[in-house]
Structure 1
Amino acid sequence: MTALRCLASAAIIAAVTSVAAPGTALADDAKPIHPGVMTRSEAGQCTSNFIFKAGDKVLIGQAAHCTGTGEATETDGCTSKSLPLGTEVKIDGASKPGKLVYNSWLAMHENGEKNKDVCAFNDFALVEIADEDEGKVTSTVPKFGGPTGLQDGPVGVGSMVYSYQNSSARGGIAALSPKTGTVLGEGGNGWSHEVVTLTPGVPGDSGSGFMTADGKAFGLLSTLNLLPAPGSNGVVDLNKALSYANDNRDDLEPIHLVEGGPFHAGLL
């Protein structure tokens, strides 16, 4: 597979009062911090995917390579470098930077991971949202609603998928953010899904979430691919990436996806 990490560098970039329990939507969809907001560190910008909880901590997901310090061609997380845990990450809509609390690349380095599929496709990170900003968070994906839960198992070839991508490379044209697409295939023993969307992902869309036709969260955008189809995207399997995170860190309580509001993809 020919692939580039879909990270935009700086050169490209010109009220709830309490947090819901796992599996419960963080209402409402008017809140400024939501799936699809941009996250920024000194390494560049990305698009967030979904909202998660670990105990009383509220987290927002992004791709591990969003804090990568190497070249865009470095796609092996077991050899690629990242900014450290604790790195400040700016989150659109937040009054204070978040804090990088998990990065799969760093976890794989520490574990001495040898599984080639895991090294190639485990591209997932979590940023803790500052306490002061928790009341600004909604877990609902703009335009589509959801997620309705976490997809457990394969997503069939030809299945319809939905994503909300928000790269500033589009110049703020909101109509280009919601995407529909199709699964072309699966790779890495289930760790990766090949997806094509209209319009295709561009640099800065890295990390954005993907949902199935019934609103289940199943992946996040990792690479821009030339094969098997130009303009297709490599999408990390979220269930596998989240399981790896829960099995390979000791500084957070179990991490859960937080569901969003009703899924209504048919309205697009």
Structure 2
Amino acid sequence: MTRAQTPRLVALTAALALALVAFVSPSPAGAAPTFASADEATITPGAEMVTDGAQCTGNFIFTDSVDVYIGYAAHCAGLGAATDTNGCDAGTLPLGTPVEIENADAPGSLVYSSWGTMQAVGETDPNACDFNDFALVRVDPADHAKVNPSIPHWGGPTGLNTDGVAAGERVYSYGNSSLRQGLDLLKPRTGISLGSASDGWTHPVYTVTPGIPGDSGSAFLDAEGRALGVLSTLAIAPLAGSNGVSDLSRALDYMAANTDLDAIDLVNGDVAFDGDQLPLGTGTGLGGL
């Protein structure tokens, strides 16, 4: 840099130089993340995620063009009992809590919880309080190159479902509860939607096999392979054995409206969705569903 005769000119020259550097040399921090191929990736939707000893399943991959995130259910970072499902008053771990991600070299970090956000803004809508069950974990940059956004077995997602699902529509999921003892044949699941409820915030479903503890947070796709929601609850009544799926579109809209995370988007899979790859035990009749 050429030195000038006056402090003012030095300051102006420095400012012009910095502006020129910024114009011709974009910061590496602004570079979009590069994902691994589906065949080589070791971190994908369906990864086991452990928060303070509680195990859940990751759902979809998200990015803001700089950082990479994996979603799961907000209750996976909850502090209460399994019956504490009202996110507007249930205890939750703070943002910044480390989250272990299967096959990652470094822990991720909890950066968003719908439960914590609803409590911070004083949410009173009972539908949101009961069914807005979504959280995001930032993947450590050292692990970005291990990530692929495609749903194992099924492929996709092909986009975001914004209009819900009708009763009888086929749905698809991929759970990774430690109770499944690592048996890959038991992880993909398919079934039918029972429609939408609670102003579209939730979608009760029956699947073969049902989601079990540890599957919480896992992804649900609609019949077109679009991202529908997040596995949130296992129902005992009135629909015994059904699962409650929190609507992802509403959860993302809520996050964008109430935090500064409005630049985060769902990443589509780069493996084509194929809903005809029926998993073990379903047959062509979905096990009688």
| Fold shared per TM-score above 0.5 | yes
Name the CA distance, whole Å, in 1 between partners of 2:256 and 2:32: 24
What is aligned with 1:19?
Answer: 33
What is aligned with 1:198?
Answer: 208
**Structure with more of its chain in helix, by fraction:** 2
Give 1:18 deviation, angstroms.
Answer: 6.0
Structure 1 unpaired stretches of 5+: 1-16
SS at the partner of 2:127? helix
5 Å-filtered alignment, 1:1-268, equals 19=33, 27-250=37-260, 252-260=261-269, 261-268=271-278
Give 1:202 deviation, angstroms.
Answer: 0.6
Cα deviation digits, residues 96-121 of structure 1 (max 9, x gap): 00000000000001000000100000
Q: Between the two structures, name the one with larger relative contact order (CA 8 Å, sep ≥ 6).
A: 1
Judge conservation of contact 2:32–2:65 (CA < 8 Å) in 1: no
Name the CA distance, whole Å, in 2 between partners of 1:151 and 1:96: 32
Which amino acid in the other structure matches residue 182 of structure 1?
A: I
Cα deviation digits, residues 54-106 of structure 1 (max 9, x gap): 23010000000001001111010000011000000000010000000000000
Cα deviation digits, residues 155-181 of structure 1 (max 9, x gap): 110000000001011111110000011
The TM-score with structure 1 as length reference comes to: 0.89
Which amino acid in the other structure matches residue 127 of structure 1?
A: V
Give 1:241 deviation, angstroms.
Answer: 0.4
SS at the partner of 1:162? strand
The TM-score with structure 2 as length reference comes to: 0.83
Cα deviation digits, residues 119-171 of structure 1 (max 9, x gap): 00000000000000000000001111000000011211000000000101111
What is aligned with 2:283?
Answer: none
Cα deviation digits, residues 11-47 of structure 1 (max 9, x gap): xxxxxx9625xxxx86324301000001001150100
Name the CA distance, whole Å, in 1 between partners of 2:66 and 2:32: 10
SS at the partner of 2:87? coil
Q: How many residue pairs are counted as aligned between the two chains?
A: 247
SS at the partner of 1:117? helix
Which protein is bigger by CA-based radius of gyration?
2
Judge conservation of contact 1:43–1:69 (CA < 8 Å) in 2: no
SS at the partner of 2:116? helix
Cα deviation digits, residues 207-265 of structure 1 (max 9, x gap): 00000111000011000001332110000000000111111112x35110000021112
Moved more, 25-34 or 97-106: 25-34
Judge conservation of contact 1:18–1:135 (CA < 8 Å) in 2: no
Judge conservation of contact 1:88–1:100 (CA < 8 Å) in 2: yes
